[in-house]
Amino acid sequence: GDELVIRLPSFSLASNFSLVRVVPNTPFISSDASWNFNNPGLTLTVTSEIEAETPIQIWISSTSGVRLPVSGVEKNQKNIIISTNAVSGPVVGYPITACPAVYQQGSFSIADLKFDSIGSICGSVFGGFEPPGYNSSKVLDSIVCQEGFLGKGRAKSVTRIYFRFQAAMRLYPTDEISLYLVGFTGGYGRSQFEVKSSPNGTIHNASWDRQQQVLTMTVAVFVEEFTTID
């Protein structure tokens, strides 16, 4: 008969019925929870004795209709609390210990872009015969040129792009990050290619839309918030 109450401020329920189906990892908690519309939250009922320090997990399906707040959720939001009227030790308003942030709108704390263009690198030619022998330090009239990366960007040239960013929110597989490169050219229509990233494998697929001038990168793995990606 003990009850566990989880207060979820600004959360809502899509249904007009207060019954919410839950899936606990123990048969000693009822799968029928009740929703409080006046003070948003769930009430769970214990059906049999549970030993102290027993890990409990409650899974609530999206089909239950519980909706996140319009304004999102802060990381480890302190007003999400749990209480119980347990006879062996009641608890009033204990803040949750861990909760991911869910932002209404994300942001980037770092977003750096660098270019490394291809160009011709020319230099003097040294060498020649002078008495009494070969002089490797003599500068000749001719020059030699070869293509290579310049270490910086140059207009109208093919370039490597380095993008370094840090998102203020978690990133999940299939999330997309788009760079709007206005005035850039190259490629035909829409092209796809692989990219290198650090931590390794964070992003390995990208696409370029020449008409829209958008470079889109697809996140491949879960990325914790404020992780720097190169």
pLDDT digits (tens, 9 = 90+) for 76-113: 999 999 999 999 999 999 999 999 888 888 889 999 99
List, in sequence order, the alpha helices (H) in 148-213. none
pLDDT band at 141 (very low <50, low <70, confident <90, very high): low
For range 177-198, the mean pLDDT: 89
pLDDT band at 138 (very low <50, low <70, confident <90, very high): low
Q: Which comes out higher in pLDDT, residue 69 or 133? A: 69
User: What value, to the nearest 5°, has the Cα angle with vertex 227 and ends 221 and 229?
Assistant: 70
Q: Which comes out higher in pLDDT, residue 89 or 147? A: 89
Taken in order 179, 185, 190, 195, the sign of the CA dihedral is negative
Of 147, 145, 127, 144, whose CA–CA distance to 135 is shortest?
127
HSE-up (13 A, CA, CB side) for residue 145 = 7
**Distances, alpha carbon 79 to alpha carbons 41, 82, 138, 164, in Å:** 12, 9, 78, 35
| DSSP state for residue 96 in the 8-state scheme | P
Rounded distance, CA 9 to CA 202, Å? Answer: 34
Residue 20 has pLDDT above 80, yes or no: yes
Residue 22 has pLDDT above 80, yes or no: yes
pLDDT score for 118:
76
Rounded distance, CA 135 to CA 138, Å? Answer: 6
pLDDT band at 129 (very low <50, low <70, confident <90, very high): low
Buried b (16+ CB within 10 A) or exposed e, 139-167: eeeeeeeeeeebeeeeeeeebeeebebbb
Residue 8 has pLDDT above 70, yes or no: yes
Model-level pTM greater than 0.85?
A: no
The residues near 230 (Cβ < 8 Å, ≥ 6 apart) are: 162, 163, 164, 197, 198
H or E segment to which residue 32 belongs: strand 32-36
Residue 175 has pLDDT above 80, yes or no: yes
Residue 126 has pLDDT above 70, yes or no: no
pLDDT band at 124 (very low <50, low <70, confident <90, very high): low
Phi then psi for 148, rounded to 5 degrees? -170, 175
Of 187, 193, 121, whose CA–CA distance to 158 is shortest?
187
How many residues belong to the chain? 230
Q: Which comes out higher in pLDDT, residue 99 or 129? A: 99
Lowest mean pLDDT among 71-75, 118-122, 132-136, 176-180: 132-136
| Strand, coil or helix: 146 | strand
